[in-house]
């Protein structure tokens, strides 16, 4: 398998994840254009500094990425693996996103799903191949005793495989998703469940976003592997990056989009600014966008006094569009938003402003204008939107937050809690949020922002690294 770099110096800190920090696009003139991604791991890794001898191993995901690998184009510190497209698709679409993601987010809908048949077994073999490609690349590039931080459900087998290849390494694995409780996890065939858990237990240390997910993992191990063995488990609740967000949200492109969005939202019949309920998500089944729209419609039915006076700003950005179930979900979100607009809208009021084209600057503009943030996932590892909106909002916002989001453990006290399945309860919470007085709202929002930024990405990353380096002494997590 080709890589972007020839064998150079061995790395002392390595990160492995499916999606890397950079992606490439082939322009019409044949040139390659690179785009850097965001997210906690990217900013976390930059905190250890350019001289740390860090290497990020990731997959080539786009045609541009594959072309970059072929041309030997790449960034220092990034090693892209050109895993054959069919193997990658089986591992990423088939196993990681259609099985492991569904198990941990408890998204299956019986009686049709799941079916673990011969096709699943074939895809599982690709998942093993894909994990092995990572393990071998890491083994080949790590300095003696190096620290390796493996990320997420795509790469659960890597710690065990890497341990066999390189017993000298210190290996960590971090899960950015929830972990399924044993009653749900054991839906997986026993041998596969065992392989996933034993693969992860190849690590010295496993990290989770909340105590709840760590406990679920331990409960699964109690059933399938007879416990954790020598592996330690810790909790690191990734927070929002306040400095970055505050600076970025006052740049001219965000100011421009804030003004445009304010125009789109418009004013109430009495001339006052309309209230805004904001949500920003990948169009992802676990984010529960459809029930969010149903709750908003319920609000307009139960409290007609809000008609013309509120707008639901819903940004739902495309995600995993290779999977039919995601495409169908996207279509359902669009259909329902249109139905609400045609059923309730007036010549001067569009009740739902749905945007589906990914635009980070416009997301920040929506955060700035949010009176209420709606974050109602069915299940979510953490949910950073819940943490970002209070940091960015101009006037302070009320957070309507699902009790099933990891972020609820840290923000629950100052948010309005909802059961994500309860559309009527969510509508009531939206009404309560819109009705909250400005002082209480500002105070809650301030406390939310403080909790949300308690463990910013750089510190989150360093904490994991030092916990891994502390050796085998137990830690409370
Ligand atoms: C979740 C996962 C990440 C993943 C992200 C985006 O947050 O934990 O590993 O990268 O979703 O999904 P995608 O499939 O586009 O990489």
Q: Distance, CA 284 to ligand 1 centroid (Å)?
A: 10
| Distance separating alpha carbons of residues 357 and 334, to the nearest angstrom | 13
Q: Distance, CA 54 to ligand 1 centroid (Å)?
A: 22
DSSP class of residue 124? Answer: H
The β-bridge partners of 401 are 375, 417
How confident is the model over 21-34, as pLDDT tens digits? 999 999 999 999 99
What's the token pair of residue 242? Answer: 């306040």
* SS3 state of residue 175: coil
Q: Distance, CA 101 to ligand 1 centroid (Å)?
A: 10
CA nearest neighbour of 43 among 251, 252, 205, 242: 242
Q: pLDDT class for 318, splitting at 50, 70, 90?
A: very high
Closest protein CA for atom 7 of ligand 1: 176
107-121 burial: b if 16+ Cβ within 10 Å, else e: beeeeeebeeeeebe
- What is each CA distance from 185 to 192, 223, 317, 425, 429, in whole angstroms? 10, 10, 29, 29, 32
How confident is the model over 403-434, as pLDDT tens digits? 999 999 999 999 999 999 999 999 999 999 99
Q: Is the CB of 410 under 6 A from ligand 1?
A: no
Closest protein CA for atom 2 of ligand 1: 176
What's the average model confidence in pLDDT over 37-42? 80
How confident is the model over 144-166, as pLDDT tens digits? 999 999 999 999 999 999 999 99
Q: Is the CB of 177 under 6 A from ligand 1?
A: yes
| Distance separating alpha carbons of residues 367 and 313, to the nearest angstrom | 10
Mean pLDDT of the chain: 95
Predicted local distance difference test score (pLDDT) of residue 42: 82
The β-bridge partners of 442 are none
Q: Distance, CA 350 to ligand 1 centroid (Å)?
A: 32
Per-residue pLDDT at 3 exceeds 80:
no
How confident is the model over 112-149, as pLDDT tens digits? 899 999 999 999 999 999 999 999 999 999 999 999 99
Q: Is the CB of 88 under 6 A from ligand 1?
A: no
State which H helix or E strand residue 23 sits in: strand 22-26
Predicted local distance difference test score (pLDDT) of residue 8: 55
CA nearest neighbour of 199 among 252, 255, 139, 152: 152
- What count of other Cβ atoms lies within 10 Å of the Cβ of residue 188? 22
Q: Is the CB of 19 under 6 A from ligand 1?
A: yes
Q: Distance, CA 354 to ligand 1 centroid (Å)?
A: 22
Report angle CA 93, 98, 335 to the nearest 5 degrees: 95
Q: Are 417 and 398 in contact (CB under 8 A)?
A: no
User: Which atom of ligand 1 is least distant from the CA of 176?
Assistant: 8
How confident is the model over 330-346, as pLDDT tens digits? 999 999 999 999 999 99
């Amino acid at each position: 398998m080709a890589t972007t770099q020839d064998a150079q110096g061995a790395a002392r800190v390595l990160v492995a994840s499916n999606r890397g920090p950079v992606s490439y696009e082939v322009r019409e003139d044949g040139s390659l254009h690179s785009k850097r991604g965001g997210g906690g791991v990217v900013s976390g890794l930059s905190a250890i500094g350019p001289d740390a001898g860090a290497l990020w191993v990731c997959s080539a995901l786009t045609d541009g990425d594959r072309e970059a690998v072929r041309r030997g184009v790449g960034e220092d510190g990034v090693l892209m693996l050109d895993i054959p497209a069919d193997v990658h698709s089986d591992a990423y679409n088939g196993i990681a996103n259609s099985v492991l993601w569904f198990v941990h987010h408890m998204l299956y809908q019986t009686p049709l799903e799941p079916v673990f048949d011969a096709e699943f077994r074939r895809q599982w073999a690709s998942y093993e191949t894909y994990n092995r490609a990572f393990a071998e690349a890491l083994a080949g590039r790590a300095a003696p005793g190096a620290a390796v931080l493996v990320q997420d459900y795509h790469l659960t087998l890597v710690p065990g495989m890497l341990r066999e290849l390189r017993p000298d390494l210190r290996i960590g694995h971090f899960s950015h998703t929830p972990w399924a409780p044993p009653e749900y996890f054991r839906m997986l065939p026993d041998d596969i469940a065992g392989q996933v858990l034993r693969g992860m237990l190849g690590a010295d240390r496993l990290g989770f976003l909340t105590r709840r997910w760590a406990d679920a993992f331990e409960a699964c191990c109690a059933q399938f592997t007879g416990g954790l063995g020598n592996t330690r488990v810790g909790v690191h609740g990734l927070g929002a990056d306040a400095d970055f967000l505050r600076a970025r949200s006052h740049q001219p492109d965000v100011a421009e989009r804030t003004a445009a969005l304010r125009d789109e939202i418009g004013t109430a019949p009495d001339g006052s600014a309309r209230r805004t309920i904001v949500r920003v998500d990948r169009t992802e089944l676990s984010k529960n966008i459809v029930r969010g729209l149903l709750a908003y419609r319920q609000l307009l039915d139960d409290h007609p006094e809000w008609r013309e006076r509120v707008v639901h700003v819903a940004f739902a950005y495309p995600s995993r569009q290779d999977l039919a179930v995601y495409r169908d979900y996207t279509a359902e979100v669009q259909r329902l938003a249109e139905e609400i607009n045609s059923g309730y809208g007036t010549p001067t009021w569009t009740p739902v402003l749905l945007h589906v084209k990914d635009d980070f600057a416009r997301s920040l503009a929506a955060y700035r204008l949010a009176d209420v943030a709606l974050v109602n996932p069915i299940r979510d590892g953490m949910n950073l939107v819940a943490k970002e909106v209070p940091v960015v909002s101009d006037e302070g916002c009320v957070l309507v937050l699902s009790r099933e989001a990891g972020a609820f453990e840290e923000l629950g006290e100052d948010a309005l809690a909802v059961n994500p399945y309860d559309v009527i309860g969510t509508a009531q919470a939206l009404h309560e949020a819109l009705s909250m007085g400005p002082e209480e709202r500002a105070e809650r929002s301030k406390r939310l922002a403080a909790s949300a930024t308690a463990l910013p990405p750089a510190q989150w990353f360093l904490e994991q690294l030092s916990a891994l380096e502390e050796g085998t002494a137990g830690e409370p997590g």
